Structure 1
Amino acid sequence: MSNLDNLTSKIIEDAKKKADNIIAEAKEKESQIIEKKKKEAEKSSQNVIEKANLEGKNLFDRAISKTELKVRNEKLVAKQTVINKVFNEAVKELNAMNKEQFLSYVKEQIKSLPISGEQNIIVASKDKEKITSEFLNELNGELKNAKIILSEETREINGGFILSKDGIEINCSFADVIDSLRYDLENEVANMLFD
């Protein structure tokens, strides 16, 4: 029996060693799996943090760009408002001319235009009495191929005049003259005002 007991003991001992080895291997694998999952979780959390930081930076950069663009646009609107006031003031200054200055302006403008034949001069009702027959005679005496006649018609223009012949008009109202000069002068005016 002792052989049987020894054999049984040996089998049990071997089985116990094998079980201990299996348990040790399982614990080792468990530790490896846990360590691997920890590293994956750390890497994943690091990726999430990096992505969140990048998204946060992008949102911040976009907010800054949007604000800078808004400020730039507001500056442009403010500058344009000032420039508009300058050109509106120019029209007011032209309207403030006395009769002699106004007639001198009309004469010089008409003489500079490539006109011929009979032209009707149309003015605002406030300027109608300034255009006298003496003025027209003097002006017509200086023109080579054209004759200016005061039209009965008046227009709602802010100073200046309009020449009309056969339905074709040349607009020399102050506002129109300033608008035509504006394209060429706007940059110069902006540089004078804002540099």
Structure 2
Amino acid sequence: MQGIAKIKEKIFEEAAEQKKRIIENAKKEATEILEKAGKQAAQLKADAEEKAKKAAGEEKRKILSIAELEERKRYLEAKQDLINEAFVRAENKLLNLEPEKYRDLVYHMILAATVDGNEEIVVSEDDKGKITHELLAKVNEALKRQGKAGNIRFSGEKRTIKGGFILKSATVEVNCTFDYLLKAQREELETEVARILFEE
């Protein structure tokens, strides 16, 4: 009986040892699994945070970029408005010159634009009080001194002209209206106007 008891005791001891080893191994494996899972979770979290941070950074950059573009667009529009206003004011100054100064300006413009001195001049209804027969007579005298025909005369043609004039012959038409001259010179003048307006 004692032998059987000893065997049983040994079996129980072995079982207890086995149980202990199994539990220890299970705990060890569980710890390793938990550590591994923890590391993976931490990595996943870090990756997610990095992606979120990157996405947030990209979104922020995108928003800032759009805002900067909008700001630049508004600035350029405001700048263009000021340049446009400068040209409008220049035209208005020409249109509102004192009659004597206006006639003097037109006198020199006609002399410069005349090809052979045998052209017709088209003027606006508003300018007929400034660009007179007396002015054309003075122009013709000057043209004759230059060896030209000296036969500039009013055209019966009516056109919508806002300051200045149009010289026309049978083959050539020279547009000397203020708005046309300003538009023609605008590309060349715009840089200089911008420099004057925005120079610091």
Query: Normalization by structure 1: what TM-score?
Result: 0.86
Alpha-carbon separation, structure 1, partners of 2:100 and 2:56: 69
The reply on whether 1:54 has 2:54 as its aligned counterpart is yes
Return the offset for 1:123: 0.8
For the residue of structure 1 that corresponds to 2:175, the secondary structure is strand
Match of 2:30 in 1: 30
Unaligned residue ranges in structure 1 (runs of 5+): none
Matches within 5 A, 1:151-170: 151-166=155-170, 168-170=172-174
Alpha-carbon separation, structure 2, partners of 1:5 and 1:19: 20
Alpha-carbon separation, structure 1, partners of 2:114 and 2:133: 23
* 1:155-183: CA deviation from partner (whole Å, max 9, x where unpaired): 21211001223364321111111222222
Return the offset for 1:69: 2.5
The reply on whether 1:183 has 2:153 as its aligned counterpart is no
Q: Percent identity?
A: 35
Q: Are the structure 2 counterparts of residues 17 and 114 from structure 1 closer, same or farther at C-alpha, using a change threshold of 3 Å? A: farther
Alpha-carbon separation, structure 1, partners of 2:99 and 2:140: 19
For the residue of structure 2 that corresponds to 1:152, the secondary structure is coil
Alpha-carbon separation, structure 2, partners of 1:189 and 1:140: 36
Unaligned residue ranges in structure 2 (runs of 5+): none
Asked whether the 8 Å contact 1:161–1:172 carries over to 2, the reply is yes
Q: Which amino acid counterpart does residue 191 of structure 1 have in structure 2?
A: R
Return the offset for 1:53: 2.2
Asked whether the 8 Å contact 1:163–1:169 carries over to 2, the reply is yes
Return the offset for 1:15: 2.9
For the residue of structure 2 that corresponds to 1:172, the secondary structure is strand
Alpha-carbon separation, structure 2, partners of 1:133 and 1:156: 20
Superposed CA RMSD in Å reads 2.3
How many correspondences in the alignment?
A: 195
Asked whether the 8 Å contact 2:114–2:167 carries over to 1, the reply is no
Return the offset for 1:137: 3.1
Match of 1:88 in 2: 88
Return the offset for 1:117: 6.3
Matches within 5 A, 1:13-162: 13-113=13-113, 115-116=115-116, 118-143=118-143, 144-145=147-148, 147-162=151-166
Return the offset for 1:194: 1.9
Asked whether the 8 Å contact 1:131–1:150 carries over to 2, the reply is no
Q: Which amino acid counterpart does residue 38 of structure 1 have in structure 2?
A: G
The reply on whether 1:174 has 2:178 as its aligned counterpart is yes
For the residue of structure 1 that corresponds to 2:152, the secondary structure is strand
For the residue of structure 2 that corresponds to 1:104, the secondary structure is helix
Query: Normalization by structure 2: what TM-score?
Result: 0.84
Moved more, 77-86 or 112-121: 112-121
* 1:24-47: CA deviation from partner (whole Å, max 9, x where unpaired): 111110111011101111121122
